[in-house]
Amino acid sequence: MNQDDLDTSGAVAVHPWSDVYPKDIDWHAPIPPRPLFSLVNDAVECHPEVVCTHFLGRTLTYAQIGARINEAAAALQSLGVNKGTRVGLFLPNSPTYIVYYFATLKAGGIVVNFNPLYAIEELAFQVQDSGVELMVTLDLKALFGKVEPLIERGVLQKALIASFPALLPGTKAALFKLFKSQDLARPLASPVTDRLLREADVLQAGSMPHPVDIDPERDLAVLQYTGGTTGTPKGAMLTHYNVYANAEQVARWAPQLVRGEESFLGVLPFFHVFAMTVVMNFAIRTASTMIILPRFELAALMQLINTTKPTVMPAVPTLFNAIMNFPKVKNHYLRSLKFCISGGAPLPLAVKRGFEDATGCVVVEGYGLTEASPVVTCNATAGPMREGSIGMPLPQTEVSLRDLDDPARPVPQGEKGEVCVRGPQVMLGYWQRPEETKAVFTPDGFLRTGDVARMDRDGLFTIEDRIKDLIICSGYNVYPRQIEEAIYTHPAVAEVTVIGIGDAYRGEAPKAFIKLKDGGSASAEDILAHLETRLSKIELPTEIEFRDELPKTMIGKLSKKELRDLENGSAQN
């Protein structure tokens, strides 16, 4: 790309990816703004008898889910939820999550997602920062045991408690109450029972919500909090149009899917932005069945794949890694899958190739971030793809690489630069943080991602690393991902993550944390010998630590933050 390819604002005027764009997809086709709940309205209208959810043996059609959403929206409005009210969802994957996500939107409210594994102090911060007025949760001790103290402390006003046994088939519900009653909370015996609302008491069969006037491009649908790995978590303000457009973009990216005939595996947590869009909203946009797991258990997952034969599986690299190393994986029926989508973290080539060899399923890597609802780029789901690449921009999405020292200046093609994004899926900004919002956008309106990439001659992008993840060794930039990719080529390595640690001589140096495969054997010396021809001396880890498990986030992404915190604590002692 040269300067003639840029307009006066610095935006990309001639899109290099146009010549290799998938032939059945029009990058230029407009995406008209619509309220986010239009997705479920369309599916209910066009495919009412298609199964929407398959959950622990019980199925609900789109007509049934649609009716429940309307009843829940009417109930929320009766409880004071109106335009702009923040409603928290503190839920595992379940039909209840889907119902109250869309019910909140229909009532005019804003969804605020909460991670069920958060500590109480983390929950308290997010409740206070977002101004959540009502929290929706289930009558499970693991959940209610965290909501109750928030109400006791006055951090949270009230909570709506839905029944977990009611989600199960009749026999399973009875058995759960009989044999797992110790897992159920007792809201009626709670000291804050006067601020608790039972779902069964507020729902009215057949009720309909009052229509709410939604401006899709300005009204917020979701406050999605960032992971906080680079500071205090911030609420990304995602409008109805942001999230609706991203579901539409992802659906257009997979034209081979047949509306009303597909099934998505829903093992990733819906409260995470990746699964919210690429599992739940993508599935609803295509009127597909969601095969939902409330938590990840590998053996149960493999059995479920055998019996339900999903056609699409969005996942993170650690899940693909676990499946490909599952005993007798080739005996399991994975060939029903038309494709798998990898996101949430970089996909190591060794994992991609190993999974595809073991299962016969194609994995396409995509890229995104919370602030973009989240998907920005993806490899083609049908046709040629480029290993190691995150693909090309989705329809109506512009990606511009900017100078690392001057984000207003695009870099020439082939040079590395910060990934900057503009498109209908990009957030309005951070909730109540105008200065941080200003800092994350370029003068010409592109979102700065903090990721470093190169674009090849065809307009495909390859991520090199996060700017903040750079390791500066003796003045040289070292990228952890390059080291991780090299270590993954060792046959005994199952998982690896690399961080920078303090070094008295070089300032910083790489340290590798490695989990070996079951039955695998390797020493630090073996790993270093393996890397000698693959990395420069400056990139070789100065320390290698073997662990039985590597820390992960709720979505399954390897957590560098926890390892950095441990290293910093050790350095200070």
Report pLDDT for 390: 94
Are 336 and 457 found together in one domain?
A: yes
Are 370 and 385 found together in one domain?
A: yes
Residue 53 φ then ψ, to 5°: -125, 140
CB 52 within 8 A of CB 289: yes
The C-alpha atoms of residue 139 and residue 302 are separated, in whole angstroms, by 28
pLDDT digits (tens, 9 = 90+) for 236-251: 999 999 999 999 999 9
Has residue 451 been placed in a domain?
yes
Report pLDDT for 18: 81
pLDDT digits (tens, 9 = 90+) for 478-536: 878 889 999 999 999 999 999 999 887 778 899 999 999 999 999 999 999 999 888 88
Domain end, chosen from 466, 493, 517, is at: 466
Are 220 and 120 found together in one domain?
A: yes
Weakest-pLDDT range from 103-107, 332-336, 365-369, 451-455: 332-336
Which band of pLDDT confidence, cut at 50, 70 and 90, is reported for residue 414? confident
- What residue has token string 């579901």? 247
Are 475 and 451 found together in one domain?
A: no
pLDDT digits (tens, 9 = 90+) for 313-367: 999 888 999 898 888 887 777 889 999 999 987 888 899 999 999 888 899 999 9
Report pLDDT for 386: 83
Residue 355 φ then ψ, to 5°: -65, -45
Mean pLDDT score of the chain? 91
CB 453 within 8 A of CB 463: yes
Which band of pLDDT confidence, cut at 50, 70 and 90, is reported for residue 5? very low
Q: Residues with Cβ < 8 Å from 523, sequence gap 6 or more?
A: none
CA 518 vs CA 121, 332, 515, 551: distances in Å: 37, 20, 9, 17
Domain end, chosen from 466, 498, 533, is at: 466
Has residue 130 been placed in a domain?
yes
CA angle 135, 141, 143 (to 5 degrees): 35
Has residue 402 been placed in a domain?
yes
> Structure pTM?
0.86
CATH of the domain at 529: 3.30.300.30
CA 169 to chain centre: 29
Are 536 and 555 found together in one domain?
A: yes
Has residue 152 been placed in a domain?
yes
Are 100 and 216 found together in one domain?
A: yes
Are 516 and 499 found together in one domain?
A: yes
CATH of the domain at 193: 3.40.50.12780
CA angle 113, 116, 121 (to 5 degrees): 90
- What residue has token string 């230029």? 28
Weakest-pLDDT range from 62-66, 69-73, 302-306, 384-388: 384-388
Query: Closest Cα partner for 315 from 343, 348, 276?
Result: 343
Strand duo 158-162 + 235-239: pairing = unpaired
**Cis bond upstream, residue 374 (ω within 30):** yes
Has residue 264 been placed in a domain?
no
The C-alpha atoms of residue 104 and residue 97 are separated, in whole angstroms, by 11
pLDDT digits (tens, 9 = 90+) for 171-221: 888 888 877 889 999 999 999 999 999 999 999 999 999 999 999 999 999
pLDDT digits (tens, 9 = 90+) for 125-163: 999 999 999 999 999 999 999 999 999 999 999 999 999
Report pLDDT for 6: 43
For the cut 70, the answer to whether the pLDDT of residue 8 exceeds it is no
For the cut 70, the answer to whether the pLDDT of residue 89 exceeds it is yes
| Percent of the chain whose pLDDT exceeds 90 | 71
pLDDT digits (tens, 9 = 90+) for 266-298: 999 999 999 999 999 999 999 999 999 998 899
Report the domain count for the chain.
3
Report pLDDT for 469: 73
Domain end, chosen from 438, 466, 494, is at: 466
Are 190 and 311 found together in one domain?
A: no
Report pLDDT for 572: 57
Report pLDDT for 227: 59
Report pLDDT for 213: 97
Tally the C-alpha atoms within 13 A of residue 270's C-alpha that lie toward its C-beta.
30
Has residue 265 been placed in a domain?
no
Report pLDDT for 14: 59
The C-alpha atoms of residue 419 and residue 447 are separated, in whole angstroms, by 8
For the cut 50, the answer to whether the pLDDT of residue 53 exceeds it is yes
Q: Is the sign of the CA dihedral 350, 355, 356, 362 positive or negative?
A: negative
Report pLDDT for 10: 43
Average pLDDT over residues 425-440: 96
Which band of pLDDT confidence, cut at 50, 70 and 90, is reported for residue 567? confident
Are 94 and 198 found together in one domain?
A: yes
Helices marked H in 36-161 — which ranges? 38-46, 62-78, 95-107, 120-130, 141-152
Q: What does the block give as tokens for 421? A: 């994004």
CA 195 vs CA 127, 156, 166, 509: distances in Å: 16, 10, 22, 53
CA 21 vs CA 24, 79, 201, 377: distances in Å: 9, 49, 53, 12
Are 69 and 13 found together in one domain?
A: no
Has residue 424 been placed in a domain?
yes
CA 237 vs CA 28, 31, 105, 272: distances in Å: 25, 20, 14, 15
Q: What stretch of H or E contains 436? A: helix 434-440
Are 433 and 394 found together in one domain?
A: yes
Which band of pLDDT confidence, cut at 50, 70 and 90, is reported for residue 226? confident
Are 14 and 130 found together in one domain?
A: no
Between residues 476 and 321, which one has the greater pLDDT?
Answer: 321
Has residue 366 been placed in a domain?
yes
Report pLDDT for 228: 46
For the cut 70, the answer to whether the pLDDT of residue 459 exceeds it is yes
Report pLDDT for 396: 97
Q: Is the sign of the CA dihedral 319, 323, 326, 332 positive or negative?
A: positive
CA 310 vs CA 99, 214, 264, 288, 314: distances in Å: 22, 35, 6, 10, 11
Provide the residue range defining the domain that includes 185: 64-225
Q: What does the block give as tokens for 309? A: 């034969």
